[in-house]
Amino acid sequence: MPSAKPYNVLFLDQSQNLPNPLPTPNDIDGSESVVHESTGCRLLRVQQRFLVKFGIHVHPIEGYNMLYVAKSTTVPISKVYAIYQCQEEQHIVTYILMQYVPGTTLLDSWASLDRARKTAIALTLRTYFDQLRQLQPPGYFGDIDGGPPLDDMFSTIQNTQDIKTSLTTEDNLIDYIIQAYSLETGKRMAYKAQYYQHVFPTVLRGNGSPVFTHNDFQRKNVLVQPDGTPLIIDWEFASWYPTYWEYSTAIFANSGWTDDWHEYLCMVLDEYPNQSLWLSSMKNEMWF
C-alpha cells in the first residue's frame, strides 16, 4: 500500500455534520468515475456525492471564487467543501472538493429545447448575473484577492513577468491588454499594437467601475439540473472587469454561430457589440 502523500489544507468547511470525514487527495485511488479530463485538469466523482477537480492547471482561486459567490449572493452554485494543495514531482497540484450536482450542460441539451424553455432558462440566468453585477466593487480591476485579472489572454504576460497586483483604472487595463497582445504576437503585429494603443482608450470603455464577471460564460459551463434549474460552473477566470467584458467574452466563445444561442445571450447579458467586436478581432489575431 503506497504511503500517504502530504498535503496542505487551504480551506475546509467546518459546518458540515457528515457521517464520514471529507475525502482528501489520498482518498483518490483510481476507482473513481471520470467526469471530465483535459491537459492538467481532471474531474472525478468521489463517493457518489462529491466532485473533485484537480491538476497542475487547477488553482485555488477557482474555489475561492465559488465561496465568494455562495456567500455574497443567492446564485445557485456547487458547494465547495475543501481546497487542498500538494507537491507532486516538480508541480503543485490543487484539489477542489465540491458537491456533485447531476445535470446536463446547456450545450448538450440546447438543440432539444423549445423556444419557451430557452427563454425561461435565459431569464433565470439573467437574475444570476443581475446579482453578480450588484456586488460591491473593490475599486480595482483584478481577481478577488487583489491580483491581476484572470483570463487566457493574460497567460503569456503573467508567465513571463512577476505581476501580482490589480489594475486601478480602465486605462491601466487597456495598457495591460495591449502588453499581452504584443507579447503574444511580437513583430508580426507590432504596427497593429500601436494602432490599438491609439484607439482602445476610446473604444474599450465601460462605466469606469468594475463588476464581478464570470468571464467564461458559454453553454458548456451551464449545467441544467433535473428540476430544470440552471447552474453556472467553472469559475476559474472570474474577476472584476469592466461592464462590457462578460458579453464580449461570451460572444467570442460562441464559435461557429451555427444556432440561435446569440438570440438568448442578449436576454442574459447587457449587450456591448462595439467593445465585443474589437476584443474578438484582437483575440483572433492573437490565437488564430
Express each pLDDT in 198-216 by its tens digit.
999 999 999 999 999 999 9
Q: Report which secondary-structure segment, H or E, holds 262.
A: helix 261-268
Q: Are residues 86 and 182 in the same domain?
A: no
Give yes or no: residues 111 and 247 share one domain.
yes
Number of folded domains that form the chain: 2
pLDDT attached to residue 234: 97
Same domain, 57 and 84: yes
Q: Give yes or no: residues 264 and 217 share one domain.
A: yes
- The whole-number pLDDT of residue 288 equals 87
Q: How much is the pLDDT for 161?
A: 78
* 60, 94 Cβ separation under 8 angstroms: yes
Secondary structure class of 204 (helix, strand, coil): coil
Q: Given this model, what pLDDT does residue 212 score?
A: 98
Amino acid at 80: V
Cα–Cα distance between 63 and 7 in angstroms, integer?
A: 17
Alpha-carbon gap, residue 107 to 157, rounded angstroms? 31
Tell me the residue type at 16: Q
What is residue 17's predicted lDDT score, i.e. its pLDDT?
67
Q: Last residue of some domain: 99, 133, 157? A: 99
In a domain, 3, yes or no: no
Categorise residue 78: left if φ over 0, alpha if ψ from -120 to 50, beta otherwise.
beta
- Residue 160 has a pLDDT of 77
Range of the domain at 35: 8-99
Q: Tens of pLDDT along 9-51?
A: 999 998 766 667 899 999 988 778 888 889 899 999 999 899 9
- Domain identity same for 114 and 81: no
What is the reported pLDDT for 30? 79
Check: CB of residue 246 under 8 Å from CB of residue 141. Answer: no
Whether residue 25 lies inside any domain: the answer is yes
268: nearest Cα among 131, 132, 121, 126: 126
Q: Using CA atoms, how far apart are residues 245 and 242, in angstroms rounded to an integer?
A: 6
Residues 44 and 186 in one domain: no
* Residues 81 and 160 grouped into a single domain: no
Which ranges of the chain have pLDDT less than 70? 1-2, 16-19
Query: How many whole angstroms separate alpha carbon 61 and alpha carbon 145?
Result: 8
Q: Are residues 140 and 119 in the same domain?
A: yes
Q: Tell me the sheet residues that pair with 92.
A: 87
